[in-house]
Amino acid sequence: MPMLELNNISKYYNAGTINEMCLFQNFNLKAEKGEFLSVVGSNGSGKTSLLNIICGSIPLDSGTIRINGRDITKSPEHKRSRSIGRVYQNTAMGTCPSMTILENLSLADNKGKSFHLGRGTDKKRIDYYRTNLKILGLGLEDKLNLTVGSLSGGQRQALSLLMTTLTPIEFLILDEHTAALDPKTAETIMELTGRIVKEKGLTTIMVTHNLRYALEYGSRLLMLHKGEIVVDKKENEKKDLKIENILEKFNQISIECGN
């Protein structure tokens, strides 16, 4: 059974107005458990909309979404967030800047439970957070009481990644999560991402404009164009792909569009 299944998805923007635009029409996508999909595509090809549809942050016009066989099409975003984690491009999105690292981790750890704060965090749990922070290799395990607002963008993104994957999730969404970082920090976060995804066996979808990351990471490569999958390379074919091959496809598409 696929971990993620999008069946016959249709999505219109500005329906019923002169600006009506059909982005996805009978769109289908299946991701098997443990697959890591890298998604590339030009501006406006529908990458962010696809992620928003999976998360439930925008409604569908028709079609169904299943996670691990469960139909979640009508499930609201906050409920889906228990099984679907998302790391955003904006490093300020995944953490709470006025709270400490410990408080942020405790909040993430209690995701979906009725009480978040005020119950105290026991010593065992703090040790668990420390062990996880140590994996990041940024020395944050000794700074549990530091407010997150005082961390650098890269440190915050590493913490977001950790918080998103701290509790068991069925699906991880990486939404251009290294795009706002300097090249060296982006590299560190990507390596960390690869490690966490592998260790936890997470089914993952990563949208990126970095073609090298799209090739180096992930077990499958998708290219979107005008709401359609125009390239879908599974592991065996993907490993022979080069950046030039993807650029060639981008050029071909833009010539077809008359750009």
Ligand X SMILES: Nc1ncnc2c1ncn2[C@@H]1O[C@H](COP(=O)(O)OP(=O)(O)OP(=O)(O)O)[C@@H](O)[C@H]1O
Task: Name which of 27 and 129 has its Cβ closer to ligand X.
Answer: 27
Sign of the alpha-carbon dihedral angle for 152, 156, 159, 161:
negative
- Binding of residue 41 to ligand X (CB under 6 A): yes
Q: Residue by residue, what is the 3-state secondary structure of 185-242?
A: HHHHHHHHHHHHHHHHCCCEEEECCCHHHHHHCCCEEEEEECCEEEEEECHHHHCCCC
Task: Name which of 77 and 191 has its Cβ closer to ligand X.
Answer: 77
- Binding of residue 156 to ligand X (CB under 6 A): no
Question: Is residue 171 within 8 Å of 203, Cβ to Cβ?
Answer: yes
The CB-of-56 to ligand X minimum distance in angstroms stands at 15
Question: Is residue 189 within 8 Å of 5, Cβ to Cβ?
Answer: no
The CB-of-107 to ligand X minimum distance in angstroms stands at 28
The CB-of-229 to ligand X minimum distance in angstroms stands at 12
Stretch in the footprint of ligand X (CB under 6 A) among 41-49, 114-122, 156-164, 237-245: 41-49
The CB-of-189 to ligand X minimum distance in angstroms stands at 19
- Binding of residue 14 to ligand X (CB under 6 A): yes
Of 237-256, which residues contact ligand X (CB under 6 A)? none
Stretch in the footprint of ligand X (CB under 6 A) among 25-33, 37-45, 77-85, 215-223: 37-45
Task: Name which of 5 and 176 has its Cβ closer to ligand X.
Answer: 176
- Binding of residue 193 to ligand X (CB under 6 A): no
The CB-of-184 to ligand X minimum distance in angstroms stands at 24
The CB-of-83 to ligand X minimum distance in angstroms stands at 22
The tokens describing 11, both together, are 């999505």
Of 43-102, which residues contact ligand X (CB under 6 A)? 43-49
Site string for ligand X, 158-177 (x = CB under 6 A): --------------------
Stretch in the footprint of ligand X (CB under 6 A) among 42-50, 66-74, 130-138, 211-219: 42-50
Task: Name which of 49 and 178 has its Cβ closer to ligand X.
Answer: 49
The CB-of-47 to ligand X minimum distance in angstroms stands at 4
Task: Name which of 43 and 236 has its Cβ closer to ligand X.
Answer: 43
- Note the residues at the interface with ligand X (CB under 6 A): 13-14, 23, 41, 43-49
